A and B are shown apart, each in its own frame.
Chain A
Amino acid sequence: MKKVLTTFIAAIIVVAGALAWYVTRKPASPFDTVAAASAPSADLIAEGKYVARTADCVACHSVPGGQPFAGGLKMGTPLGDIYTTNITPDPKDGIGAYTLADFDRAIRQGVAKDGHRLYPAMPYPSYSKMSDADIRALYAYFMHDVKPQAVANTPSAIPSPMNMRWPIALWNAAFAPSRPYSNVKAHDAEWNRGAYLVQGPGHCGSCHTPRGAAFNEKGMTQNSKLYLSGALLDGWYAPSLRSDPNTGLGRWTEADIYAFLKNGRNGHGVVFGSMLEAYNNSTQFLSDADLHAIAHYLKSLPGDPARDGAPFAYSDATMAQLTPAQRMSVPGAQIFAAKCSFCHKLDGKGQDPWIPPLAGATSSLVPDAASQINVVLNGSGRVMANGMPDSYRMPPYRAQLSDKEVAEVLTFVRKAWGNHGGPVDAKGVAALRARTDPASPQVIVLQMR
């Protein structure tokens, strides 16, 4: 989850005007009267390190080639760029002076030690559900295992007065839950563990839940039908994680979900776009039990047939359009054959599990084609599973295909083999082309130490 902030600030400026004491006060923390252990156990630190993996802190607070957790990742917003901060225990540039309570307020309530409100690019609305135990462990890890780095923070480029932080407090009151996750009695421990990870540290909803006018996630739990029902964020469409057969996980088994999070791939797809970062830096490091719990929880979220439409059924009628004799006359078919088919194969079925199918792929069925446009223009980064890079990568085609050609080939793919994702127009391609860059062909590993 990166670059959450897009239209958010403009929206919240409007709701400004409440009481100043409210918006500048420091909220309470259960740790206000509790001192952290000065010499935490190795177990606690290890536990904290694991929590850092579940919360994927490194993905946003490190940059390739930079020091671990020293911040500096640029996040574009309509009002200007902001940069993630140094969260190493350096006393001056980092969070070395943070008490456990300060740390807790930052993670779960979005309030820095000096009282300023963090931009909700930091997913504290999700982290607010994290348990006291996890916060305590995470604090121990950051204070005692992460190396202090004297790397100064980069000031945000949002101009005054849009850079005022206090209105965020009002937004928090409206949209950020402020209570840790509590178990749902009707469900078993595995389900509850899965729910905790998904809603809390995993902050899956940051990308996968649609957002409202104030850029708030429309639903933070399974109680909302919109929770994890798919959303567009930063040029990628994060699909539904509910049991929608087309646009979600309806055709996936729990074992499929587990394999996807563990290995980065399964017969339905391979991680790409923002999920590549989540996989490379986070999900593959989770325990089998936790991954199974996540799969179990996600499979309990019902789909919405009204939104999802008729379930995908493979059709081989497309094959007739893909003979050399036919494909010059079907728009996009020749491009598909010449540029895509060698990997994804003429039948659209891919090469399980190394190269994903396009037939029946969620990205071919979701109405928003951003992910497919993005991956065609920019390719995908390297999947790093268990320390080893993938053998096959999706190349960027921005230098070879015009906006019109990308639109044509995707329109073809999105109605081939039974897909029904709907057409792509050249303007949408042009818009994404202008604000995205090709993925690096090099392996990028963000280090945690």
Chain B
Amino acid sequence: MKLKINGHSVEVTSDPDTPLLWVIRDELGMTGTKFGCGLAQCGACSVMLDGKVARSCVTPLSSVGAAEVTTIEAVEADPVGQRVVEKWIAHQVPQCGYCQSGQVVAATALLKENPKPSRDDIAAAMVNLCRCGTYNRISDAMLDLAGLGTAKDGETL
């Protein structure tokens, strides 16, 4: 099966029901996309399919079809993704970092769809779990990216 991923076209041999996550991690050797739950509960495995966020642990290889897969490894190649990464660093968002590939991908997908999301849009789209409690800083970084200002003095790091 052919897979379009991060601007390349590759041939993959996994069974059609294999989750895209494991095709990316095992067969293609890219480990930035994380395994957290395998059940679409946490979002650590988020990738983009034609620019829209998808959870790769519940995306059978056979349903990717001709869609262009973008993983965290290629996020900085996208100008929107690059801005997200910059703000993620500026706001010192990650802690253990394990969920952050997915968070950055989800943020990038939202901003590609809507460069000026409202607070509600952000809350609606940023639903991935984080166990370290980086939610406040994710929110700060998103408000900053959306041009809605930064958090009040003393609330960011």
Contact = CB atoms under 8 A, between A and B. Distances in A.
Do A's and B's CB atoms come within 8 Å in the complex? yes
Interface of A: 323-325, 327-329, 334, 337-338, 342-343, 351-352, 354-355, 391-393, 395
Given A342-B55, A342-B58, A354-B60, A324 B114 contact: yes
Contacts of A337: 124, 127
Given A324-B125, A328-B124, A342-B54, A351 B59 contact: yes
15 contacts: A323-B114, A324-B120, A324-B122, A324-B124, A324-B125, A325-B117, A325-B120, A343-B55, A351-B62, A354-B17, A354-B60, A355-B58, A391-B17, A395-B39, A395-B41
Contacts of A328: 120-121, 123-124
A337 B39 CA distance: 15
B63 A325 contact: no
B80 to A, nearest CB: 15
A443 to B, nearest CB: 15
**10 tightest Cβ-Cβ pairs between the two chains A and B:** A351-B63, A342-B55, A324-B121, A324-B124, A342-B40, A338-B127, A324-B125, A328-B120, A354-B60, A391-B17
A354 B40 contact: no
Q: How large is the interface on B (under 10, 10 to 19, 20 to 34, 35 or more residues)?
A: 20 to 34
A342 B54 CA distance: 6
Contacts of A343: 40, 55, 58
Contacts of B19: 391-392
Contacts of A323: 113-114
A354 B60 CA distance: 7
Contacts of B54: 342
A324 B60 contact: no
A355 B60 contact: yes
Interface in B31-51: 39-41
A324 B113 contact: yes
Contacts of A334: 124
A341 to B, nearest CB: 9
A391 B39 CA distance: 10
Nearest to B58: A343
Contacts of A324: 110, 113-114, 117, 120-122, 124-125
Contacts of A352: 63
Given A342-B40, A343-B58, A354-B60, A325 B114 contact: yes
Contacts of B41: 395
A393 B17 contact: no
A393 to B, nearest CB: 7
B136 interface: no
A337 B118 CA distance: 17
Name the residue among B59, B113, B117 with the largest chain A CB count within 10 angstroms. B59
A327 B117 CA distance: 13
A266 to B, nearest CB: 14
B44 to A, nearest CB: 12
Contacts of B122: 324
A100 to B, nearest CB: 46
B60 A391 contact: yes
A352 B117 CA distance: 32
Contacts of A325: 114, 117-118, 120-121, 124
B150 interface: no
Interface in B77-120: 110, 113-114, 117-118, 120
